[in-house]
Copies of this chain bind each other. A is one copy, B any other.
Amino acid sequence: MLTISDLAPETIKELLNDADAFANGKISKAKSEIFVSNLFYENSTRTKTSFDIAERKLGLQVVPFDVSTSSVNKGESLYDTVKTLEALGVNLVVIRHFQDAYYKELESIDLPVINGGDGKGSHPTQTVLDLLTIYQEFGKFEGLKIGIVGDVKHSRVANSNAEALRKLGAKVYFSGPSEWFDEGAIINGTFVALDDLVKEVDVLILLRIQHERHGEKMQISLGKYHKKYGLTKEREKAMKPEAIIMHPAPINRGVEIDSDLVECERSRIFKAMENGVFARMAILKHALESKGFEFE
């Protein structure tokens, strides 16, 4: 599972059903000894930890891999690293890497690779958990209006989510600083002013400012950003009664969202994290079953 484009809508729905079953308490354990490893070349709490927990819940053996003490420091390439883990008996790897589409150099390797985020590319497992959270809320995607706000240019979440949501029948709108849009990337996306957007959408997805990917210094102060492009208490009040708020986190509190709204009634921010474990269990199981491994 490398990008969300790889998945047909039927496969996405199957994953959502499996994930929802896990959310409702279903237990599934590997029938044989399976070794997996999580290769995170970028910092992560949520994605890495939720894979770690999902793997343990499925009864998999998690082999630690720490980039900072690996032979990556002796100049070993990603290809040779993954090929090595395969030779050592690892059955699946999860990779987060700062390079867009890093997985292309791994094409000749037979080992299943789950993409935990590639540069500014995609973040398909985040999309599945976001979809699950929306699906649990509304029971459908057709006709839903989804707003994605903020640092679209540097966000792999924006790209993956927009693509999947459209594929499943939702309408996707964007807002935020216009200079952070990359026209090529957001095909068919409609730009809407934030104050209009908040009144219309069923789901408002706020994106983190990716400070670490902004080469140039930001042209706007964080306080100003919050007033112009953040979810303030005023804007939250303008939202439809049943509309929900999401954010892939980590959150810059008081910037993308007023700190008091992070745990407000319509926030599904922590709910989505919870779903992250169930979504990844479904994805891991799916990938391993496709290689002949069995679960009970």
Chain A residues with CB under 8 Å of chain B are: 33, 35, 37, 40, 43-46, 48-50, 52-53, 56-57, 61, 63-77, 80-81, 83-90, 208, 211-212, 249-253, 270-271, 273-274, 276-277
Contact = CB atoms under 8 A, between A and B. Distances in A.
A3 B118 CA distance: 43
Number of copies: 3
Given A46-B84, A52-B64, A56-B61, 7 more contacts: A37-B49, A40-B69, A45-B65, A45-B76, A52-B63, A74-B212, A80-B253
B252 A75 contact: yes
B64 A45 contact: no
Contact of A273 (B45, B57, B87, B276): B87
A220 to B, nearest CB: 17
Given A43-B71, A71-B46, A249-B80, A35 B53 contact: yes
A50 B89 CA distance: 9
Nearest to A52: B63
**Which are the 8 A-B pairs with shortest beta-carbon distances?**
A87-B273, A76-B250, A45-B71, A87-B270, A45-B70, A71-B250, A43-B73, A87-B274
Contact of A274 (B50, B77, B88, B211): B88
A64 B57 CA distance: 14
A68 B71 contact: no
Contacts of A35: 53, 56
A86 B57 CA distance: 16
A127 to B, nearest CB: 18
Contacts of A86: 270
Contacts of A37: 49
Nearest to A83: B270
10 contacts: A48-B69, A49-B63, A56-B61, A75-B250, A76-B251, A80-B250, A80-B253, A86-B270, A87-B271, A89-B274
A95 to B, nearest CB: 14
A182 to B, nearest CB: 22
Contact of A88 (B43, B49, B61, B90): B49
Contacts of A80: 249-251, 253
Q: Identify the interface centre among A40, A45, A85, A211: most chain B CB within 10 Å of its CB.
A: A45
Nearest to A274: B87
Contacts of A48: 69-70
Contacts of A70: 43-45, 48
A90 B53 CA distance: 8
A247 B284 CA distance: 33
A52 B35 CA distance: 11
